[in-house]
Amino acid sequence: MHRLRELQRDFSSYVLQESQQVPAGVKSIGLSAEQRLAIYRNNTRLGLTAALRDSYPVVNRLVGDSFFAGLAAAYIKSYPPQSACLSAYGAHFSELISGFAAAQGLVYLADVAKLEWLWHEAYHAADAPILSAAALAQIDPAAYGRLVFRLHPSARFIASDYPIARIWASNQADDAGREYIDLRIGACRLLLYRPGRHVEIDYLDQAEYQFLQLLAVGTALSEAVETLLTDHPDANLPILLQRCLLKGLLTDFYLADA
Amino acid sequence: MTLTKQHARHATVSSAIPARAGIGLRSQHHWDALNNPVRPGWLEVHSENYFSNGGIPLRDLEAIRADYPISLHGVGMSLGSVDPLNWQHLRQLRDLIQRIEPGLVSEHLSWSAFGGRYLNDLLPLPYTDETLAHVAARISQVQDYLRRPLLIENPSSYLEYGFSSYSESEFLNELARRCGCGILLDVNNLYVSCVNHGWQALAYLNDIAADKVGEIHLAGHTVNQFGGQSILIDTHNAPVCEAVWQLYQTAIQRFGCRPTLIEWDADLPPWSVLVAEAATADCYMEQAYAQAA
């Protein structure tokens, strides 16, 4: 497979713009070998840029098509795809944006990108049944402390210094108005999840954000409550749990060993 | 939603793809597939778009499957790569096959990855003994793993290699003979490659082993001016052109009627436009039946 290996090595380097060395053996009748390879280089760039644009429509709206194409080109260079599944491509886009000099003026852009990726993950996450209050009622109250909840597989959390949920909402394709958003309205903590057909974005306060994140990593209820009440003595635990159930955020539970 | 329930729902429509026209389904048309009373005979999706454990697109596809036979068409198996087969990719495809029970499963005669990096394109292979042995071995491995034959599609290409020793049609026939795979003949790709390389389209059609052709693809392409030359690019963003319709008629006269897919991926038109293209293909198939009778 020597010849095939050399060909694919040189061809892929050329397409990813790491080399100007045209692979050996390409016929040049009419168009030169360089011109023919350029078609493939262009197809790959356009295809991957379109895939990123599909996952990051709000970033694209915020910066415009041509700036987005520049971001995409830089991303493809730093993070070439590692699978054939295009919907999995783009997981590190917010990191690329954070380090992209020309985007530094848009201080919130990297966080908006992160929000879009979490939305995308929530959209494609596995389905799960929603835990009913009736199922919880079966548990012996003495065992409550050992409860470990499983959150819906689509649950994602993000905190930002900027009002990224407002920015995201006012840049949806079907939102005709361009709202003026004052960045000084400041930080937000968000939960994304998909209880039914639609991904929901909920604002959380500090206590909720901390508590849900503890539950998300499988912390037993007693320990999560202890941490919560240490940091937020006035947190209303029954209401917090009630809201989790009502949201459809909990899918299952088990009892940890005592 | 449990698997058992999904399988029960599937039982409403057989998995077999009929020798009629179908359309390539993109996510923008999920609603129409589920609700529009105007329907093509079957649907084909890109397998990789449903490689998830759940989520909305997969849930839609399962619901659509209750009403339509579905064909799974892969764009990322990279059968021609020297990289090892991607077993994660194959596992995901196997899981999807179990969920959807497709009538046909197809892939391309091309490569797309080297050194673990995927170029998201169907790149051309040199048609040599070395490539033939390599691709044949991989197709056999995949077919053994999936426990079903694949259809292998001819690519559209913008370059060819001076050291190829087979024509593309000979190469496809030989793959089919060695591995027991079928051929997915994309008539638009055939036309695009023939124009780009000065090959004879009718000779290509005549060379293809008729009994191996399990499906036909039709699509639109773009004529680009490049360095003072015109070159056809397989863009899937336009109606099927007249020359391709003519080749299609010749193809079904020679091969008989085969499941025929209208592929349209970019600048997607409304569902009704796709259904109308499919109806044209159905018309040509009816004429071919009438002539054969």
Sketch out chain B's domains with CATH numbers: 3-292 (3.20.20.150)
Q: Do A127 and B49 touch (CB under 8 A)?
A: no
Chain B contact probe: residue of A87, A123, A156 with most B CBs at under 10 A: A87
Which residues from B are below 8 Å from A36, CB to CB? 158-159
CA distance B120 to A91: 16
CA distances from A194 to A166, B25, B165 (A): 19, 24, 54
Higher-pLDDT residue of A183, B32: B32
Nearest by Cα to B112 from A6, A236, A132, A83: A83
- On the question of pLDDT at A70 being above 90, the answer is yes
Most B-contacting residue of A1, A3, A4 (CB-CB within 10 A), to test interface: A4
Q: Chain A partners of B52 at a C-beta cutoff of 8 Å?
A: 87, 124-126
Distance CA A227, CA B293 (A): 80
Q: Are A116 and A168 in contact (CB under 8 A)?
A: yes
The pLDDT of residue A174:
65
Measure the CA–CA gap between B78 and B82, rounded to whole angstroms: 9
Rounded to a whole number of angstroms, the distance from the CA of B176 to the nearest CA of chain A is: 21
pLDDT at B137 over 60: yes
* Of residues A4, A36, A123, nearest to B130 (C-beta): A4
Q: Do A86 and B120 touch (CB under 8 A)?
A: yes
Contact between B231 and A31 (Cβ < 8 Å): yes
pLDDT band with cut points at 50, 70 and 90 for residue A1: low
pLDDT given at position A175: 62
The predicted pLDDT at position B218 comes to: 98
Q: Are B238 and B220 in contact (CB under 8 A)?
A: yes
pLDDT of residue B3: 34
B260 touches chain A (CB under 8 A): no
Q: Do A16 and B119 touch (CB under 8 A)?
A: yes
A65 and A50 Cβ atoms separated by less than 8 Å: no
For the cut 80, the answer to whether the pLDDT of residue B86 exceeds it is: yes
The pLDDT value recorded for residue B52 is: 87
Which of B222, B292, B225 has its CA nearest to residue B252? B292
Average of per-residue pLDDT across B12-27: 94
Distance from CA of B252 to the nearest CA of A (A): 31
pLDDT band, residue A177 (cuts 50/70/90):
low
SS (H, E, C) chain A: CHHHHHHHHHHHHHHCCCCCCCCCCECCCCCCHHHHHHHHHHHHHHHHHHHHHHHCHHHHHHHCHHHHHHHHHHHHHHCCCCCCCHHHCCCCHHHHHHCCHHHCCCCCHHHHHHHHHHHHHHHHCCCCCCCCHHHHHCCCHHHHHHEEEEECCCCEEEEECCCHHHHHHCCCCCCCCCCCCCHHHCCEEEEEECCCCCCEEEECCHHHHHHHHHHHCCCCHHHHHHHHHHHCCCCCHHHHHHHHHHHCCEEEEEECCC
The reply to whether residue B126 touches residue A25, judged by beta carbons under 8 angstroms, is yes
According to the model, what pLDDT value does residue B229 have?
86
Condensed to tens digits (0 to 9), the pLDDT of residues A179-210 reads 788 888 889 999 999 988 899 999 999 999 99
- Pick B75's closest partner by Cβ from A26, A84, A125: A84
Query: Mean pLDDT over residues A74-79, rounded?
Result: 97
Closest of B250, B153, B249, B139 to residue B193, by C-alpha:
B153
User: A30 and B229: CB-CB below 8 Å?
Assistant: yes
| CA distance to partner chain A, nearest, from residue B27 (Å) | 12
Q: Is a pLDDT exceeding 90 seen at residue B226?
A: no
Q: Does B88 touch chain A (CB under 8 A)?
A: yes
Region B66-79: what's the mean pLDDT?
97
Q: Mean pLDDT throughout A59-76?
A: 97
What pLDDT does A133 receive?
85
pLDDT of the residue at B292: 80
Report the C-alpha gap between A79 and B234 in whole angstroms.
26
Chain B nearest CA to A174, separation (Å): 15
Whether the Cβ atoms of residue A175 and residue A62 lie closer than 8 Å to each other: no
Percent of chain B predicted with pLDDT > 70: 96
Q: Give which of B159, B164, B235 to mutate to test A binding, by max A Cβ within 10 Å.
A: B159
Longest dimension (CA), chain B: 59
- pLDDT score of B236 more than 60: yes
pLDDT score recorded for residue B8: 41
Residue B170 has pLDDT above 90, yes or no: yes
- Residues B242-288 have pLDDT tens digits of 999 999 999 999 999 999 999 999 899 999 999 999 999 999 999 99
Tokens 């006269």 appear where? B253
Domain extent listing, chain A: 1-106, 125-258
DSSP chain B: --HHHHHHHHTTS-SPPPSSEEEE--GGGHHHHHH-S---S-EEEEGGGG-SSSSHHHHHHHHHHTTS-EEEE-S---TT-SSPP-HHHHHHHHHHHHHH--SEEEEESSEEEETTEEEEEEE----SHHHHHHHHHHHHHHHHHHTSPPEEEPPP-S--BTT--S-HHHHHHHHHHHH--EEEEEHHHHHHHHHHHT--HHHHHHHS-GGGEEEEEEE--EEEEETTEEEEE----SPPPHHHHHHHHHHHHHH----EEEE--SSPPPHHHHHHHHHHHHHHHHHHHHHH-
Give the number of beta-carbon pairs within 8 Å between A and B. Answer: 145
Kindly tell me if the per-residue pLDDT of B1 is higher than 60: no
Higher pLDDT, B141 or B56: B141
B184 touches A: beta carbon within 8 Å: no
The yes-or-no verdict on residue B5 having pLDDT over 60 is no
What is the pLDDT at residue A29? 85
B56, B75, B229 member nearest A197 (Cβ): B56
The pLDDT, as a whole number, for residue A58 is: 96
Give the minimum alpha-carbon distance from B54 to chain A in angstroms, rounded to a whole number: 4
Taking CA–CA distances from B198, the nearest residue in chain A reads A29
User: Which one, of B32, B35, B92, lies nearest residue B58 by Cα?
Assistant: B92
Query: Residue range A92-107: average pLDDT?
Result: 95
- pLDDT score, position A32: 93
Does A125 contact B55 at a Cβ distance shorter than 8 Å? yes
- The average confidence (pLDDT) of chain A is 93
Main-chain phi, psi angles of B250, to 5 degrees: -60, -40
